[in-house]
């Protein structure tokens, strides 16, 4: 990672599309062209995993699978798997993503495409073989889940819950499993073409890897030994973070906790495989909640908030030493936000990974580590905000008078410059080698452009980019601000 570079954060799901959610089709290629024209080097996307209840890509039924909602319908039409008129009957123009509609209609449409698909295709057979170690479990998990009205796996019949006779289950669900194999094949095939195109234009893709997996996932169901579960396969402890600026109750994520001792014995095999698959999708991986490797917060199962919990010592540098042995060229960004203690700083230093600096966090305290003058190292990534923050336009409206004062003092807004432009300019002029700006901040949109408000349910993960975003004026503005 040499020389100063900048990029834009925009999730795949936010891309314009007539099918209610962004996809790996034409609008993704157009966004790559847009990035190139604006002089950018990175496209940061959020996790690409499938979503279930709550629609969060950070609570997925699989750490390996791709989101089948992102499969481009027009490409399936082009491949002869769907008739154009039939497919377009499923189009839905909507300002926000309608996950309810997608849940009802998208699988039906993909199953229609699967009816015409040749399961004897050579590259399909190769794909299944190469990804067998996660794909078969995922396909079986999703098949049983669908058969059980999408109930959590802990509620399934004992033979399914405890995986008593896998060959018999595979025979029972063989047709459905083949469909789920097909959906993953289409996702990975379409994605590989998009990534190749982005890389050919000099754009690297930054991906996101949540530290934890969802309890209701193929990962936990198929490898319960990797987690701290009781004899009924229920979590004994769950993950979260204590009360902070985002939430006075803390955040109770509810994810099961890894059995790090067991994982250490097999040289973190599951993690290594997870990262290998991650590098098929991304050039750089941002590991979410990096501080969890130094020390992690646990809450006893059954607690309603994260107020009562304790910190446990993390796996530390042992984990990253093993990763370096097995994946020596891995490019990693550490999401080192939240309660940062000396042990986290030491671990970050030992790994040598760049951490994150979020400028929206800078103005509550005149000595903040996030103030531009306190960003002393170039080995970090500067953001105005992340997918969990307000957009900068909304943030400016809502901060206190004292924060506004400090903002003016630090950013020294220039004549005719908007507050969003001031913050982006300041981000670009820090020592950081990398600057990533959320798309909503270049567009200067308010609350409607926010991607996620942590610890809330409702309208998260639904923001969509207006199809008319690509104007000469916007391209000029991005170029001007990032050429600093």
pLDDT for 209-256, tens place per residue? 999 999 999 999 999 999 999 999 999 999 999 987 667 898 899 999
Residue 246's pLDDT is 65
Give the Cα separation of 237 and 16 in Å (integer): 40
Catalytic residue, candidates 74, 186, 335, 441: 335
Per the structure block, which two tokens stand in for 163? 């995986």
Residue 180's pLDDT is 98
- Please provide residue 259's backbone torsions phi and psi, each rounded to the nearest 5 degrees: -90, 85
SS (H, E, C) 121-165: CHHHHHHHHHCHHHHHHHHHHHHHHHHCCCCCHHHCCHHHHCCCC
- Please provide residue 323's backbone torsions phi and psi, each rounded to the nearest 5 degrees: -60, -45
- Please provide residue 385's backbone torsions phi and psi, each rounded to the nearest 5 degrees: -150, 175
Catalytic residue, candidates 288, 336, 433, 441: 288
Helix, strand or coil, per DSSP, at residue 235? strand
Helix, strand or coil, per DSSP, at residue 422? helix
335 as an active site residue: the answer is yes
Contact indicator for 187, 124 with CB cutoff of 8 Å: no
336 as an active site residue: the answer is no
Which segment of 103-117, 270-284, 408-422, 454-468 scores lowest on mean pLDDT? 454-468
Give the Cα separation of 340 and 337 in Å (integer): 7
* Residue closest to 2 by CA, chosen among 428, 434, 337: 434
Q: If you average pLDDT over every residue of the chain, what do you get?
A: 96
Query: Each residue of 352-371: pLDDT tens digit?
Result: 999 999 999 999 989 999 99
Share of the chain above pLDDT 70, in %: 99
C-alpha torsion sign, points 317, 319, 320, 324: positive
Residue 473: pLDDT above 80?
yes
- Please provide residue 297's backbone torsions phi and psi, each rounded to the nearest 5 degrees: -100, 130
Residue 131: pLDDT above 90?
yes
Catalytic residue, candidates 88, 244, 303, 388: 388
Confidence of residue 345 (pLDDT cuts 50, 70, 90): very high
Residue 1's pLDDT is 44
216 as an active site residue: the answer is no
Give the Cα separation of 392 and 305 in Å (integer): 29
Contact indicator for 349, 357 with CB cutoff of 8 Å: no
Residue 50: pLDDT above 90?
yes
Per the structure block, which two tokens stand in for 359? 């400028």
Please identify which residue in the block is written with the tokens 């123009």.
Answer: 93
Residue 311: pLDDT above 60?
yes
Contact indicator for 145, 151 with CB cutoff of 8 Å: yes
């Amino acid at each position: 990672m040499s020389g100063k570079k900048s990029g834009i954060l925009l999730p795949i799901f936010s891309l314009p599309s007539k099918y209610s959610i962004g996809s790996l089709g034409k609008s993704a290629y157009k966004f790559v062209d847009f990035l190139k024209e604006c002089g950018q080097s990175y496209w940061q996307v959020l996790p690409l995993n499938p979503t279930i209840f709550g629609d969060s890509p950070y609570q997925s039924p699989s750490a390996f699978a791709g989101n089948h909602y992102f499969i481009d319908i027009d490409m399936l039409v082009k491949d002869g798997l769907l008739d154009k008129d039939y497919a377009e009957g499923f189009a839905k123009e909507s300002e926000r993503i309608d996950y309810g509609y997608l849940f009802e209609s998208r699988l039906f449409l993909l199953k229609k495409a699967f009816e015409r698909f040749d399961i004897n295709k050579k590259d399909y057979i190769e794909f299944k073989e190469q990804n067998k170690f996660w794909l078969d479990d995922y396909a079986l998990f999703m098949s049983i889940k669908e058969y059980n009205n999408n109930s959590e796996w802990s509620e399934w019949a004992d033979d399914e819950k405890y995986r008593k006779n896998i060959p018999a289950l595979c025979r029972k669900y063989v047709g459905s499993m083949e469909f789920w194999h097909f959906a993953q094949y289409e996702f990975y095939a379409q994605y590989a073409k998009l990534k190749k195109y982005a890389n050919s234009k000099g754009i690297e893709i930054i991906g996101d890897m949540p530290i934890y997996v969802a309890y209701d996932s193929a990962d936990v169901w198929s490898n319960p030994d990797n987690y701290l579960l009781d004899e009924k396969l229920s979590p004994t402890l769950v993950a979260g973070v204590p009360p902070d600026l985002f939430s006075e109750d803390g955040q109770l994520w509810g994810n099961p906790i890894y059995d790090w001792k067991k994982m250490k014995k097999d040289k973190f095999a599951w993690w290594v495989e997870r990262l290998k698959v991650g590098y098929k999708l991304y050039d750089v991986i941002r590991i979410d909640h990096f501080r969890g490797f130094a020390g992690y917060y646990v809450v006893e199962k059954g607690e309603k908030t994260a107020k009562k919990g304790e910190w446990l010592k993390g796996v530390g540098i042992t984990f990253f030493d093993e990763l370096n042995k097995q994946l020596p060229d891995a490019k990693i960004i550490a999401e080192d936000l939240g309660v940062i203690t000396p042990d986290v700083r030491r671990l970050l230093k030992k790994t040598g990974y760049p951490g994150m600096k979020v400028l929206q966090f800078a103005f509550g305290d005149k000595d903040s580590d996030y103030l531009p003058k306190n960003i002393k190292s170039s080995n970090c990534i500067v953001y105005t905000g992340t997918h969990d923050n307000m957009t900068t336009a909304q943030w400016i409206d809502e901060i206190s008078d004292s924060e506004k004062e400090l903002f003016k003092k630090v950013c020294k807004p220039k004549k005719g410059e908007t507050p969003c432009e001031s913050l982006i300019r300041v981000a670009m002029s820090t020592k950081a080698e990398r600057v990533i700006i959320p798309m909503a901040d270049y567009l200067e949109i308010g609350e409607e452009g926010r991607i996620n408000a942590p610890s809330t349910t409702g309208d998260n993960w639904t923001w969509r980019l207006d199809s008319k975003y690509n104007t000469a004026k916007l391209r000029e503005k991005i170029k001007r601000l990032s050429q600093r």
